[in-house]
Structure 1
Amino acid sequence: MTEETAAPSEGLAGMRDTVTVRLPAASAYLSVLRTATAGLAARLDFTLDEIEDLRIAVDEACAMLLRQAVPGTDLTAEFELTGDEMSVRVAVETVEPQDLKRDDFAWMVLTALADYVEAVTDKDLAIVLRKRRGAARPA
């Protein structure tokens, strides 16, 4: 089902944790990922609004990726917590990855909820999100 790994912290001032969650590439398992996202954001003392923004952004990124995922494969989420920022990379295996549409509603949601959004195509198709605690939302 799920696999979680964590690297130890480097102390409070230079805190850097990484967590990887691997689960079947199916929407039925996204609630597990939303819960992990919220728990990790809370660890960084994100506000309730910032936590909810991240949960929605991760969910939306996964929904975009699952459309292209090879059936029966895994979705991998890598969380990196550094000081007051969380970086999330969600990825799926695809046969022939198609560019994600950056002019559709889902992409607009991502860019509104995260401070940084990037689509990456290498050995898989991935979306990278970054959110900083206390960062002002774009107007």
Structure 2
Amino acid sequence: MGPNRPQADVIQLTLPSKAEYLGVARLTVSGIANRMGFSYEEIEDIKLAVGEACTNVVRHAYKETENPGSIHIQCHVYEDRLMIEVSDQGVGFSNELIAEQLTPIYAGKSLEDLDEGGLGLYLIHTLMDEVETRSESGVVVSMTKYVRQDGVAGNDWTISEAEI
């Protein structure tokens, strides 16, 4: 790694791919986000996005197999952002599934009316600042949320300029 590449603390969690463990995933990311100084609303968004990503694993990744498999969660803690990767070793997305999940078909409904997992990737995209989905040995959903200062994404130079 070069000297300009920021170091991240990495927290890893592996859970059985079962719905009853989703609360553990949400609690873990909530604790990390809280420690980083995210607002209550932002922490709720992060928890919901991680819950959605994990729900997708439970529903889709291992349906062809007898073994429930695992959900792997990696939290990369940087000074200015939290990057969370949720992955599985399941069957991978079909392109139709991705297209279907990115369509805002729930536009007329309120969030309260939807089951967790009902909005999938579309919701994750609206809740997080950056989202990347890739298919490797399974599916990896990478989600980033920036820590904001005074309602603006935190950049070192804005703070130092304000001090001048």
TM (normalized to structure 1)?
Answer: 0.80
Gaps of 5+ in 1: 1-13
Given that 1:66 and 1:92 are in contact with CA atoms closer than 8 Å, whether structure 2 keeps it comes out as no
* Match of residue 92, structure 1, among 88, 91, 109: 88
Match in the other structure for 1:29: 21
Gaps of 5+ in 2: 1-5, 105-118, 154-164
> Residue deviations 1:76-122, cap 9 Å, x none?
00000000200000011213542323225332311111001121101
Instruction: Give the secondary-structure state (helix, strand or coil) at the position aligned to 1:67.
Output: helix
Match in the other structure for 1:132: 146
Identity of aligned residues (%): 24
User: CA shift at 1:15, angstroms?
Assistant: 6.3
Sort the Cα spacing of 1:85 and 1:96 in 2 relative to 1 into closer, same or farther, 3 A. closer
TM (normalized to structure 2)?
Answer: 0.69
* Match of residue 43, structure 1, among 20, 31, 35: 35
> Residue deviations 1:1-25, cap 9 Å, x none?
xxxxxxxxxxxxx662100000101
Sort the Cα spacing of 1:15 and 1:63 in 2 relative to 1 into closer, same or farther, 3 A. same
After superposition, residues 97-136 of structure 1 pair within 5 angstroms as 97-99=93-95, 100=98, 101-104=101-104, 105-134=119-148
CA distance in 1, matches of 2:58, 2:126: 21
If each structure's helix is expressed as a fraction of its own residues, which one has the higher value? Answer: 2
User: CA shift at 1:40, angstroms?
Assistant: 0.5
If each structure's strand is expressed as a fraction of its own residues, which one has the higher value? Answer: 1
The one-letter amino acid of 1:52's match is E
CA distance in 1, matches of 2:22, 2:146: 23
Given that 1:115 and 1:129 are in contact with CA atoms closer than 8 Å, whether structure 2 keeps it comes out as yes
Name the stretch that deviates more: 27-36 or 71-80. Answer: 71-80
Given that 2:61 and 2:138 are in contact with CA atoms closer than 8 Å, whether structure 1 keeps it comes out as no
Given that 1:74 and 1:92 are in contact with CA atoms closer than 8 Å, whether structure 2 keeps it comes out as yes
Given that 2:29 and 2:47 are in contact with CA atoms closer than 8 Å, whether structure 1 keeps it comes out as yes
Question: Which of the two has higher C-alpha Rg?
Answer: 2
Match in the other structure for 1:65: 57
Sort the Cα spacing of 1:25 and 1:136 in 2 relative to 1 into closer, same or farther, 3 A. farther
